[in-house]
Structure 1
Amino acid sequence: MKYIALLAAALLIGADQLIKYWAMESLSQVGTMPVLGDVFQLTYVENRGAAFGILKGQKWILVGVTSLVIIGAIIFLLIKNLKSKTLIWAIALIISGGIGNLIDRIVRGYVVDYLYFKLIDFYVFNLADACVCVGVGLVIIYLIFIEPKLQKQKAQAQTADGGLSEQE
C-alpha cells in the first residue's frame, strides 16, 4: 500500500508541475480566466512566500523547512509499520504537495498559484497546496477520531484476553 501511495504522489507531482507549466505559459498572458463567473476563476500569481503569503522573500528558509518535512514524512512512511490507509494516503498527499512546491521554489524562486475562489475571496493556491491541506486534514482526522478508537479497541481486546487467562 505504501508504494502505491508513493506512486500516486509521484503522479500528483507530475500533474502539479504540468498545470503550473500551463499556467506560466498561458494563464500568465491573460492574468485571470473566469471559470464559474464570480465564484471560481483561474488567476496567475507568483507566490514568493509560504501559505497565505507569509515569510515572503525567505526562499532558503522555506526550502530548508519543506525539505526536512518531506524527508521526515518519507522516512516515517517507509520505516513505520502503518496499518491505517488513511494515514498512509495522508502522508503521501503531504509529500506530493511539499515536493510540488519545493520544485517551484528551487527552480523558479517562487511558487506558481492559479486557483482562486472569488466568491469567498480566498487566497490563490494550487494543486500542491490542496494536497498538503487535504493530507494535513486527514492526519488531524486520524489523530482525533481514528487513533483513539483503535487504542480503545486494543485496550478492550487486552482486557478480554486478560480475563480469559485468569479463568483458565
Structure 2
Amino acid sequence: MATKKTTTFSSSHSRSSLAPWLGIAAIVILLDQITKITIEKLFVYGEERVVTSFFNLVLAYNRGAAFSFLSNESGWQRYFFTAIGIVAVGFIVYLLRKHAGQRLFCWALALIMGGAVGNVIDRMAYGHVIDFLDFHFGSLGHFPAFNIADMAISLGAILFIYDELRRVNKQ
C-alpha cells in the first residue's frame, strides 16, 4: 500500500510539474491564433500596411515550411508538415515529463511546442499557415513573413542552444 501512495504521488507530481510548461505552450497558441484571426479580419490576402521604415503588416499564406520551403508543391506538404508537427509535440511532451526540473530546457520546449501547435492548427483549418509580420532592410529586401508561432519556435530554438552551450561549458 505504501508503494501505491508513492506511485500515485510520483504520477501526480509528474502531471503538476508538466502543467506550467503546457500553460506556456497554451499562451503561445492563444496569442498566435488571436493575432492570426485579427489579421485575417482586418486584411485581404496580400494587403500590406507600412508600420515603420523596416516593418510592415501583411496577410500572407505559407503552404510550405519555414521561409516558404516547398510552398509551391501540389499540396502533399500540408499533411507532411502537419504530421511532423504532431509527432514533434508528442516527443516534446515526453521530454517535458522526463526533464521537468530543467527550467531553461523546458521553457525552450514549451515555446517550440506552442509554436508547432499554432502552425498545425492553421494547416489543419486552412491548408496553409497565416503569416503577417514582414521585416525589410533596404537593399537587402524583405525577410519572409512570419507569425507569433514562428517567433516562439525561433526563441525556443535559441534558448535550447543556449542551454546546451551552458551545459557543455559546465563540463
Q: Into which bin does the TM-score normalised by the smaller protein fall?
A: 0.7 to 0.9
Could you tell me how far 1:30 is from its partner in structure 2? 7.4
Could you tell me how far 1:76 is from its partner in structure 2? 1.1
Could you tell me how far 1:112 is from its partner in structure 2? 0.2
Counterparts of 1:58-97 in structure 2, within 5 Å, are: 58-78=77-97, 80-97=98-115
TM-score, scaled relative to structure 1: 0.82
Could you tell me how far 1:118 is from its partner in structure 2? 1.8
Partner in structure 1 of residue 121 of structure 2: 103
- Deviations 1:119-146 (Å, cap 9, x if unpaired)? 2521100000000011011111111x22
Residues 1:45 and 2:60 are matched in the alignment: yes
Q: Which runs of 5+ in 2 are unaligned?
A: 1-16
Partner in structure 2 of residue 115 of structure 1: 133
Match of 1:83, SS? Answer: coil
Partner in structure 2 of residue 155 of structure 1: none
CA contact (8 A) 1:2 1:88 kept: no
CA contact (8 A) 1:32 1:44 kept: yes
Match of 2:44, SS? Answer: helix
Q: Which runs of 5+ in 1 are unaligned?
A: 153-168
Residues 1:33 and 2:55 are matched in the alignment: no
- Deviations 1:52-83 (Å, cap 9, x if unpaired)? 111223111111111111111111112x1343
Name which of structure 1's ranges 1-10 and 12-21 shifts more when overlaid on structure 2. Answer: 1-10
Q: Distance in 2 between matches of 1:28 and 1:127?
A: 19
Q: Distance in 2 between matches of 1:90 and 1:115?
A: 22
Return the letter of the residue paired with 2:58: T
Identical aligned pairs, as a percentage?
30
Could you tell me how far 1:28 is from its partner in structure 2? 2.3
- Deviations 1:3-55 (Å, cap 9, x if unpaired)? 2222121011011101100111112267111111x211101101111001112
Return the letter of the residue paired with 2:70: L
CA contact (8 A) 1:27 1:43 kept: yes
- Deviations 1:60-119 (Å, cap 9, x if unpaired)? 1111111111111111112x1343211010000000000000000001000000001122
CA contact (8 A) 1:70 1:98 kept: yes
Q: Structure 1 residues 81 and 62, CA, compared in 2 at 3 Å: closer, same or farther?
A: closer
TM-score, scaled relative to structure 2: 0.81
CA contact (8 A) 1:50 1:62 kept: yes
Q: Over aligned residues, Cα RMSD in angstroms?
A: 1.6
Structure 1 segments, 4+ long, off by >4 Å, are: none
Partner in structure 1 of residue 10 of structure 2: none
